Structure 1
C-alpha cells in the first residue's frame, strides 16, 4: 500500500473523519500541517536547529511545492523560533495540502456552499485503505522498539499527540503511551514540541481576548 510521500499530506488524511466525511471542526489542522512540514524539512536535512530556531543549511531540492514554499519563507525572513513558524500561514497551508492531495489523486475535491452562501470544499478519500495504512503506522510506532521506528512515523505520532488529534490517539491511548510518545517526539526533532507550544500560546491569546 503506497501513501503520500510528505508528512503534511499524511497528517491531513489522518485528520479526516470517515464517519463525518470531513475534517472535524476545532481540529488543529493548520498548526499540525505547518509542524509536519517543518518536521519533513528537518528530517530531510533541509533545516537545522540553531539555538532553538530553524536555519536553512545547504540547499538541495525538496521536490515538493508545499515544503519548498516553507523553506523559501524561512530563508527569506529573520530567525524565529520553531513554534513561531507553526503559528504562521495556517489557512494557506490547509488549502495547499488539500489541493496537493487532490492533484495527486488521493482525494476528490468538490466545491460546495454552506447555506448557499459560504464557500467550502468537500473532501473524500478515494481509497480508504490509505488512511488505514497510516493509522497502522501510528499504532506500530507505539509498539515497535524505538530503534526500529522510521523517523517519519515517529513524527506522525509526535504531531498527532501534540495536536491532540483524538480521532487517531484518544485520551486513554495517550496516557498509556506517554513515555513512548516522548521518545518518539525526541526522535523526530523540534516540530512536536513547537506544535504543542504554538497551540498553547494561541489558546492563551484567545482566552485573554
Structure 2
C-alpha cells in the first residue's frame, strides 16, 4: 500500500505501534487521543470543521465521501459546538476502533483479543505490513530532516509530540535537541495537537495528586 493512501489518524496509528511487538511505543489511550485529534485536523483541511476559542464545530456541506470522516462529522453535529478536548476525550475510542478496522481490512494490521483475569477484554495490535510501517517511519524521519516542510508533516509531528511519540521516532541526528524543541513548538501552535497535549497533562496532574 502507498503510504499516501493512509489518513492522518491511520498514519499516526502505524507510527505508534512497535513493529514485531504487541506493546505500543506510547500509552494506548494517548495514541487514541492523538488519532482523534488527527481526524479533526483532516476535517479542517477539507473545510468541514472550524475551531474557535477551544471549541470545534462541523460546518455545513455535503458528505465528506469517506466513512471515517463522515462518521466524525456526524459525531460533531450531534455534539454541536463542543470543547475540543471534551470531543477528543469522548470519541477517541471510537475513532481508533474505526481506524484499526480499516487497517485490518487493508492487510496492514492484525487485532488479537483476549481476556485478562477471565473478565476484561484486552485488544492488542500487530503490524502485518512491515514494509509499509518502515515507509511511514522513513517518511516521518525524512520530513524531520527537512524541518517538516509541508502542512501534513507539521501536523503529524505536532500530534506525535503531543502524545510523546516523537521522542521515540525522531531520527538520530546531530540536531536532535533542536528538532525536539521544534516539535514542541508545533504542538503548541496546532490546535488539535495542543488539545491532545492538554488532556494528557491534565491526566498526569490528576494522577500525581
Normalising by structure 2, report the TM-score: 0.82
Greater helix fraction, Structure 1 or Structure 2 = 2
SS at match of 2:168: coil
Greater CA drift, 122-131 or 191-200: 122-131
Unaligned runs of 5+ residues in structure 2 are: none
Aligned partner of 1:13 in structure 2 is 14
Cα RMSD after superposing both structures: 2.9
The answer to whether the Cα contact below 8 Å between 2:33 and 2:196 also exists between their aligned partners in 1 is yes
Q: Is 1:197 aligned to 2:209, yes or no?
A: no
Unaligned runs of 5+ residues in structure 1 are: none
Task: Count residues with an aligned counterpart.
Answer: 205
The verdict on how the C-alpha distance between 1:122 and 1:163 changes in structure 2, with shifts beyond 3 A counting, is closer
SS at match of 2:121: strand
The verdict on how the C-alpha distance between 1:127 and 1:171 changes in structure 2, with shifts beyond 3 A counting, is closer
Aligned partner of 1:168 in structure 2 is 169
Q: Is 1:128 aligned to 2:125, yes or no?
A: no
Aligned partner of 1:58 in structure 2 is 60
Residues 1-209 of structure 1: pairs in structure 2 closer than 5 A:
2-3=2-3, 4-24=5-25, 26-27=27-28, 28-114=30-116, 117-144=119-146, 149-165=149-165, 166-169=167-170, 175-181=177-183, 184-185=186-187, 189-208=190-209
State the distance in 1 between where 2:81 and 2:8 align. 23
State the distance in 1 between where 2:180 and 2:24 align. 25
State the distance in 2 between where 1:182 and 1:161 align. 6
State the distance in 2 between where 1:115 and 1:77 align. 36
Q: CA deviation at 1:11?
A: 1.0
The verdict on how the C-alpha distance between 1:61 and 1:115 changes in structure 2, with shifts beyond 3 A counting, is same
What do the CA deviations read for 1:47-67 (whole angstroms, capped 9, x no partner)? Answer: 122333222223233233332
Greater CA drift, 63-72 or 128-137: 63-72
What do the CA deviations read for 1:113-163 (whole angstroms, capped 9, x no partner)? Answer: 3455543334332221211111122222222255xx332222111110111
